């Protein structure tokens, strides 16, 4: 009986130590452990340099919306020279800081609920590394019931890539349905 208790304790210790690397990325292990909403949404962007550089052109997507391998492919000097048709080059120090922040807070390194779902969906998908959040199977599935006229045909939205146009709390990492307000379609509910 004592041996069984020791095995259970050892297993719990292994699980806690293995998961603590992910928890540390959130806010620190003990704070992560006591937060009851720790798995809601995605972790908001907290890095000022990341916010400043990314928001200069578009919504500063939370790193938890893509896995680390995607950020690795997106945030390097060659990729930024042709960043979705735009030259978004950064000096080496800035690039390293932004790259490291994105990779360290990526979906597959997070315990936030939506990030975990994205990480699992990407891990079970074959093919090249996803580079666009809007092309993730998880994101596509979440938006499949929204008519195209409400997105592409809507001057207030234009594309799913403008998350913050409909998700009123996107900057806080909240993408729940009850926080959605589609411009020019205020009464739409899924």
For the stretch 43-92, pLDDT in tens is 999 999 999 999 988 999 999 999 999 999 999 999 999 999 999 999 99
Q: What per-residue confidence (pLDDT) applies to 124?
A: 85
Q: Answer yes or no: are the C-beta atoms of 176 and 113 closer than 8 Å.
A: no
70 and 151, same domain (yes or no): yes
Q: Looking at the domain assignment, is residue 108 inside a domain?
A: yes
**Considering its fold, how many domains does the chain have in total?**
2
15 and 62, same domain (yes or no): no
Q: How far is CA 136 from the centre of its chain?
A: 11
Q: What per-residue confidence (pLDDT) applies to 170?
A: 95
- Sequence-distant (6+) residues with CB within 8 A of 157 are 150, 151, 165, 166, 182, 183
Q: What per-residue confidence (pLDDT) applies to 97?
A: 97
Structure pTM? 0.77
Q: Looking at the domain assignment, is residue 156 inside a domain?
A: yes
| 185, β-bridge pairs | 182
18 and 57, same domain (yes or no): no
Q: Looking at the domain assignment, is residue 190 inside a domain?
A: no
63 and 138, same domain (yes or no): yes
63 and 107, same domain (yes or no): yes
71 and 160, same domain (yes or no): yes
Residue pointed to by tokens 């690397």? 21
74 and 129, same domain (yes or no): yes
Q: Answer yes or no: are the C-beta atoms of 100 and 109 closer than 8 Å.
A: no
Q: Kindly report which listed range (65-74, 90-99, 111-120) carries the lowest average pLDDT score.
A: 111-120
Q: Looking at the domain assignment, is residue 71 inside a domain?
A: yes
- Report how far apart, in Å, the C-alpha atoms of 156 and of each of 17, 59, 132, 170 are: 46, 15, 21, 16
Q: 82 lies in which domain range?
A: 48-179
Q: Looking at the domain assignment, is residue 8 inside a domain?
A: yes
Q: Looking at the domain assignment, is residue 14 inside a domain?
A: yes
Residue 28 has pLDDT above 60, yes or no: no
Backbone angles phi, psi at 87, to 5 degrees: -80, 110
Residue 98 has pLDDT above 50, yes or no: yes
Rg (CA), the chain: 19
94 and 12, same domain (yes or no): no
Q: Looking at the domain assignment, is residue 155 inside a domain?
A: yes
Q: Looking at the domain assignment, is residue 20 inside a domain?
A: yes
DSSP state of 136: S
């Amino acid at each position: 009986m004592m041996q069984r208790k020791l095995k259970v304790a050892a297993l719990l210790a292994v699980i806690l130590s293995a998961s603590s690397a992910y928890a540390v990325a959130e806010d620190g292990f003990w704070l992560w452990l006591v937060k009851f909403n720790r798995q809601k949404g995605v972790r908001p962007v907290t890095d000022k340099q990341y916010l400043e550089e990314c928001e200069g052109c578009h919504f500063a997507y939370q790193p938890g919306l893509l896995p680390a391998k995607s950020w690795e492919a997106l945030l390097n000097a060659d990729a930024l020279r042709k960043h979705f048709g735009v030259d978004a080059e950064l000096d080496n120090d800035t690039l390293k800081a932004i790259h490291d922040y994105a990779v360290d807070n990526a979906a597959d390194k997070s315990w936030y609920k939506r990030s975990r779902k994205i990480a699992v969906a990407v891990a079970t998908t074959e093919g090249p590394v996803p580079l666009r959040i809007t092309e993730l199977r998880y994101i596509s599935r979440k938006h499949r019931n929204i008519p195209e006229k409400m997105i592409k045909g809507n001057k207030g939205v234009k594309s799913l890539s403008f998350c913050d146009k409909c998700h009123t709390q996107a900057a806080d990492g909240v993408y729940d349905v009850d926080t959605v307000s589609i411009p020019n379609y205020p009464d739409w509910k899924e």
